[in-house]
Structure 1
Amino acid sequence: MKSLWNNFKVAFAMFSKIPMPRADWTKENMKYMFCFFPFIGTVIGVLTVAVAYAGRRFGYQPGFVTALLVLVPVFVTGGIHVDGLLDTSDALSSWQERSRRLEILKDSHAGAFAVITAAVYFVTWYGAYDQLYTSENMEAIAIMSLGFMVSRCLSGIGVIVFPKAKSDGTVAEFSRNSSDVISRNVLIVYLILLAAVMIWIEPVWGIAAFAGALVIFGYYHHTAMKYFGGTTGDLSGFFLCICEAGMAVILAVVSNLFIR
């Protein structure tokens, strides 16, 4: 039990800004880390529903509540995944050879395409949440809240299963220290349960959101293999961001077309 608790602490310390008791980053304490990665999405999801509910309950203006909904994941994670999105955007937009793209991923400077991507990313989130919140669609927001776990399950599976672009990168180190088969199987079980709950909340919307996440996961694999020769920490963050934003847009569209 102590080992599992340490794995939990390491996962939250690495992928969130939530204060955690100290745990040494040993192989034993990172062995099942990815089994707990999706629970950061649970925190984001709970806060998302709480903000939406409080906004309706106390009559705050939609624009204010929508902005808070957009910022919840950033507050919880510190923007670690957005950093990967922006670095990957710069690398993909460079149209350089593979080795140069991998160098750009490590560059701490933000290029023009990273700035453009950041603007598009947050505007997309704002538009999707504005549609969901102003239409008082709490069921779709609940499905999106589960989507924060779905994206992390898929991201963890990608880290475990996909080839690594670099043998000395963060993702390669995490993969070496993790129990691949157990962690992968646990994440798959999570995905099945999450899909069932999403569909239970509203079948059409749940299927659309979950299917969209799987399609984006396929795009992530294609992009990682074609342009980088495997995945990296930045590419994992890139996937997680576009997966979540993609699910939000899908829910905004289908919940308006297929009203309960």
Structure 2
Amino acid sequence: MKLFDGLLITLGMYTIVPVPQRSWTERGMRWTMAWLPFVGLIIGGGWLLILWLNLSGFVGSYLSSALLTLWPIIITGGLHIDGLADAADAIGSRRDRETKLRIMKDPTSGPSAILWTVSILLIQLMAWLELLNLWSVDDTILFGRDELGSIALLLLIPCISRIMAGLGVMLLPPARRNGLVKTFRDGLAPAVLPLLIVMAAFVAAGCLLLNLPIGLAALITAMICFVSWLAICSRGFGGVTGDLAGFLIVVSETALLVVVSIFIYLMTSLGGSI
């Protein structure tokens, strides 16, 4: 029951899904980070519905691309894109650690926040549009095993990004002594970290089984994003914050989407199976 309460709290914290307040117990809070990848599955499920509507001819490619781009922002209430903007301003300032932390708490958006946010959304929009245009050419796209594998792999991207964010919060020290991340992490159950590692292993295996070349490219991209983010957090901030976790989620999802779309494009252009 406490584990299920953790799911409800996670949905209440990281999505706009309404949950009963009675589930917000201290014991339930201990398992919230373990349920974070489940939010990724919800996003992936929304993507699947939009893709089906497009590939079935109910919605055009342009509108579908916009919906695919906006769906993660809508279901999360803009939580992670806000973290991206705050972290981008702090990183772009190139100031000392304490100044960066103060900048992240500033409610106003600077030029780096605007540049990063617009660039990320534009890249995601174009990547989805490229994929939908590719798939619209081939009427048999949904009937091949490899094609289904590449689509299923795309739907795992939000799950991968949230597993990395969860691992980052567990592995790095909080950047603020009295910040929300410290309060939140100190209350987590000890089993959360092993659970996230097991999830990471299963998702990695799933990526490789679904489509070996694209899955391998996605995993390498994810590792590059994660290691780079760890370095940014450690050297620039002395630890992790919620905004930095949101930054990782949005940037890694964008990078994975771009890499997967490029590989699908190349393999389709070469006449191979995707």
Indicate whether the TM-score tops 0.5. Answer: yes
CA distance in 2, matches of 1:43, 1:104: 32
CA shift, 1:84, in A, is 0.7
Residue of structure 1 aligned with 2:241, choices 232, 236, 240: 232
CA shift, 1:110, in A, is 0.8
* Partner SS state of residue 135, structure 1: helix
CA distance in 1, matches of 2:264, 2:41: 22
Of the structure 1 ranges 165-174 and 237-246, higher mean CA displacement relative to structure 2 is found in 165-174
Of the structure 1 ranges 112-121 and 192-201, higher mean CA displacement relative to structure 2 is found in 192-201
CA distance in 2, matches of 1:59, 1:6: 38
AA at the equivalent of 2:94 = W
Q: Is the 8 A contact 1:132 1:141 kept in 2?
A: no
Q: Is the 8 A contact 2:5 2:25 kept in 1?
A: no
CA shift, 1:248, in A, is 0.2
Aligned to 2:174: 164
Residues 1:65 and 2:64 are matched in the alignment: yes
* Partner SS state of residue 156, structure 2: helix
Aligned to 1:127: 126
Report the TM-score, using the length of structure 2 for normalisation: 0.90
CA shift, 1:58, in A, is 2.6
Aligned to 1:96: 95
CA shift, 1:24, in A, is 5.3
Q: List runs of 5+ in structure 1 lacking aligned partners.
A: none
Greater C-alpha Rg: 2
CA distance in 2, matches of 1:35, 1:72: 22
AA at the equivalent of 1:93 = G
Residues 1:4 and 2:14 are matched in the alignment: no
Q: List runs of 5+ in structure 2 lacking aligned partners.
A: 136-140, 142-146
CA shift, 1:87, in A, is 0.3
Q: Report the identity percentage.
A: 28
Aligned to 2:217: 208
Of the structure 1 ranges 100-109 and 137-146, higher mean CA displacement relative to structure 2 is found in 137-146
**Can you list the C-alpha shifts for 1:162-201, whole angstroms capped at 9, x where unaligned?**
1111121111111101013x11111111111112222222
Aligned to 1:108: 107
CA distance in 1, matches of 2:22, 2:132: 39
In 2 relative to 1, CA 106–24 (structure 1 residues): closer, same or farther, beyond 3 Å? farther
Q: How does 1:1-260 map to 2 (within 5 A)?
A: 2-23=1-22, 25-136=24-135, 139=148, 140-180=150-190, 182-259=191-268, 260=273
Q: Is the 8 A contact 1:10 1:25 kept in 2?
A: yes
How many residues align? The count is 258
Of the structure 1 ranges 95-104 and 54-63, higher mean CA displacement relative to structure 2 is found in 54-63
Aligned-residue CA RMSD (Å): 1.4
Q: Is the 8 A contact 2:11 2:39 kept in 1?
A: yes
CA shift, 1:33, in A, is 1.0
Q: Is the 8 A contact 2:217 2:259 kept in 1?
A: yes
Q: Is the 8 A contact 1:9 1:22 kept in 2?
A: no
In 2 relative to 1, CA 189–122 (structure 1 residues): closer, same or farther, beyond 3 Å? same
